[in-house]
Amino acid sequence: MSGPLLAVENVTARYGAVLALDDVSLHVEAGEIVTLIGANGAGKSTLLMTICGDPPARAGRIRFDGADITGQPTHRIMRGGIAQAPEGRRIFGRMSVLENLLIGAQAVAVDPGPELARVFALFPRLEERQAQRAGTLSGGEQQMLAIGRALMSRPRLLLLDEPSLGLAPLVVKGIFAAIRRLNAESGLSVLLVEQNAQAALRLAHRGYTLQTGRIVLAGTGRELLARPEVREAYLGG
Amino acid sequence: MIYGLIAVGYTMVYGIIGMINFAHGDVFMVGAFLALISILALGAGGIAAGPAALLLVLLLTVAFTALYGWTVERLAYRPLRGSFRLAPLISAIGMSIVLQNYVQIAQGARVKPLEPLVPGGITLLTEAGFAAQLSYMQMLIVAVTLGVLAVFTWLVTRTPLGRAMRACEQDRRMASLLGIDTDRTISLTFVIGAGLAAVAGMMYLLRYGVIDFYIGFLAGVKAFTAAVLGGIGSLPGAVLGGLLIGLIETFWSAYFSVQYKDVAAFSILVLTLVFLPTGLLGRAEVEKV
Ligand SMILES: Nc1ncnc2c1ncn2[C@@H]1O[C@H](COP(=O)(O)OP(=O)(O)O)[C@@H](O)[C@H]1O
Ligand SMILES: [Mg+2]
């Protein structure tokens, strides 16, 4: 397959009169971890959601694996090989851990067995707690569940929105190690939105910075870490 | 019992899309009429009453009423999804009026009587001139209601469709992020709710033998009361509420006056809303932002 796995081309998105994304272009190659960093309200979550068609792109094009997915309904996009662990985790609190995982697989009609085994191998904590109500999990466990649920559809591209938010440093380390392992072992492509710019840029192959709806910088993780404007804005000087 | 079946439909639709489906009682009424039409048609076709014929009536009634439920959702509610909260409510009241008038025109305003299809019963005990009787019809109604509720509970708690319905109830946007077609899931919710109302309609017809185009309103209010009493959004609550309303009505009729039995349901609705807004098995809405 030639061309990138995901290509976002000159995309604009708005909430009513608010312009949230302004002529944004980026791409993710197969097997890459790409991170998107930016301040609160920059439009990072909106970009991940617009890739999933909700809110839809008002201008520009989004291609996945060469096919134009702009304007498709969300459920159809998600059945085509993209999965998201969204901001705030959004697990189904009144369902069991196991049900949360199973529901991740049911729409794409993959046999949940092998995926479940892989998710449990990655996060053994979820296996221990599979019968528990998901709403009673700790924050770190909920994040594992949100990622595990996304993996259940056997995606080729995983969108992660601030997986480290509100978690203890040790837990964050575990989550980042899991992302690295997924990418290294199964070649999963990842688009990672993070406030924790230092850790994200170290983990990612490449990165972009987003500022009030516009991409301002792009480069490898190492390059961005060395840029003075990145150090100043996102790494605390 | 019958109210429980209707109440489940209210609670289900409310739980998933946060809307009181005011036309639900009228879908029940349509179900009762469809059951009557099926029975008369089968009678004209020479098929006598019997378990097989009743089953056939049940299937026909459920199928056609479900079709009504689907149509109502498509025409009156889906186009309004995403608009302001009151819009589908107004549309529901409109739909209720449409259904009532449509049946009134199509079936005539006269009351429809029906001969009892399942006569007889057993006498439980006779004592000092009183006889406690249990008719076969009452037993049939209880059995069918319990059976339907059991199947329905299994569907909601154990199947992928039920899981999708609960996911839509908790976080519809997230459900679509998992590839679930939420519009389709909501349509199916209406269809299943209408199917339950159809069963209730048929049971009502068998029990009372008399129906008119206006039964939907009263039954609707009582079922809505049952749903609120049980805790709106809670399925076991709807069943419990239905049972309680039925019992309260029976005792009210026995001790006070039959003419005022409808007052009982309204009083309970008001009392519940004032003193116990979350109902018996309801939960406080703290999770929704
Ligand atoms: N549902 C919404 N309705 C209206 N405005 C929104 C909504 N979600 C986000 N916004 C606005 O869009 C902009 C980008 O938000 P967001 O994508 O959440 O940023 P980030 O994830 O980078 O913090 C912000 O100005 C925010 O206020
Ligand atoms: Mg965000």
Closest CA to A26 of A235, A232, A237, A205: A205
Q: What is the DSSP string of chain B?
A: -HHHHHHHHHHHHHHHHS---TTHHHHHHHHHHHHHHHHHHHHHTTPPSSHHHHHHHHHHHHHHHHHHHHHHIIIIIGGGTTS-THHHHHHHHHHHHHHHHHHHHHH-SS-EE---SS--EEEEEEETTEEEEEEHHHHHHHHHHHHHHHHHHHHHHHSHHHHHHHHHHH-HHHHHHTT--HHHHHHHHHHHHHHHHHHHHHHHHHHHSEE-TTHHHHHHHHHHHHHHHH-TT-HHHHHHHHHHHHHHHHHHHHHS-GGGHHHHHHHHHHHHHHH-TT-SS-----S--
| Residue A138 burial (CB count, 10 A) | 13
Closest ligand 1 atom to residue A43 Cα is 17
Look at residue B282 and tell me if it is in a domain. no
- Does B284 reside within a domain? no
Give residue B286's pLDDT.
39
Identify the residue among A92, A94, A145 best suited for mutation to test binding to B, counting B beta carbons within 10 A and taking the highest.
A92
Question: Quick check: is B76 in a domain?
Answer: yes
Regions of chain A short of the pLDDT cut 70: 1-2, 237
Per residue of chain B (289 residues), give pLDDT as tens. 677 778 877 777 777 666 677 778 888 888 888 888 888 877 776 666 667 777 888 888 888 888 888 888 888 777 777 666 667 767 777 777 777 777 777 776 566 666 666 666 666 666 666 666 667 777 888 888 888 888 888 998 899 999 999 999 889 999 999 999 999 998 898 898 888 888 888 888 888 877 877 788 888 888 888 888 877 777 777 778 777 887 787 777 777 766 666 777 777 777 877 777 777 776 654 333 3
Chain A residues in contact with B160 by the CB 8 A cut-off are 102-103, 106
Residues lining ligand 1, judged by CB closer than 6 Å? Answer: A 15, 18, 20, 38, 40-46
Is B137 domain-assigned?
Answer: yes
What integer pLDDT is reported at residue B66 of this predicted model? 86
Q: How many CB atoms lie within 10 A of CB B268?
A: 21
Q: CB of B167 within 8 Å of any CB in chain A?
A: yes
Look up the domain containing B141 and give its range.
2-275
pLDDT of residue B289: 30
Please indicate whether, in this complex, the C-beta atoms of A99 and B163 are within 8 angstroms of each other. Answer: yes
Q: With an 8 Å Cβ cutoff, are A92 and B173 in contact?
A: no
CA nearest B173 in A: which residue? A54
Q: What is the CATH number of the domain that holds B159?
A: 1.10.3470
Q: Which residue has the tokens 């609120």?
A: B228
Is residue B281, in this structure, part of any structural domain at all?
Answer: no
Nearest CA to ligand 1 atom 2: A15
Mutate: best of B177, B181, B185, partner A, most A CBs <10 A: B177
Report chain A residues whose CB lies below 8 A from the CB of B287: 93, 135
Residue A90 to residue B171, Cβ atoms within 8 A: yes
Please give the number of the atom of ligand 1 that sits closest to the Cα of A47.
17
- What integer pLDDT is reported at residue B49 of this predicted model? 60
With the most atoms of ligand 1 within 8 angstroms of its CB, the residue from A12, A14, A15, A195 to mutate is A15
Contact B237, B230 (CB under 8 A): yes
**N-term to C-term CA, chain B:** 35
Mutate which of A24, A36, A46 for ligand 1 pocket (most atoms within 8 A of beta carbon): A46
Q: Does residue B53 belong to any structural domain of this protein?
A: yes
CB < 8 Å to B163, chain A: 95, 99, 102-103, 106
Contact across the interface for B176 and A104, Cβ inside 8 Å: no
pLDDT of residue A160: 98
ipTM: 0.94
Q: Do B177 and A78 touch (CB under 8 A)?
A: yes
Distance from CA of A229 to the nearest CA of B (A): 35
What spacing in Å lies between the alpha carbon of A8 and ligand 2's midpoint? 18
Q: What is the pLDDT of residue A125?
A: 96
- What's residue A191's pLDDT? 98
Q: A193 CA to middle of ligand 1, Å? A: 14
Question: A90-107, pLDDT tens digit by residue?
Answer: 999 999 999 999 999 999
Ligand 1 site-directed mutation target among A11, A14, A18, most atoms within 8 Å of CB: A18
A22 C-alpha vs ligand 1 centroid, how far in Å?
13
Cβ contact B178–A78 (<8 Å): yes
Total domain count, chain B = 1
Pull the structure tokens for residue B136. 């076969």
Fold classification of A1-81+157-237 is Rossmann fold (3.40.50)
Determine which helix (DSSP H) or strand (DSSP E) holds A160, and give its type and residue range: strand A157-161
Contact B178 A153 (CB under 8 A): yes
CB within 8 Å: A92 and B181: no
* Chain B CB within 8 Å of residue A142 CB: no
Ligand (nearest to CA of A163): 2
Q: Which chain A residue lies closest to B160 (C-alpha atoms)?
A: A106
Query: What residue segments make up the domains of chain A, in order of their start?
Result: 1-81+157-237, 88-155
B chain contacts of residue A102, beta-carbon cutoff 8 Å: 160, 163
B226 neighbors B241 (Cβ within 8 angstroms): yes
Is B177 near chain A, with CB under 8 Å?
Answer: yes
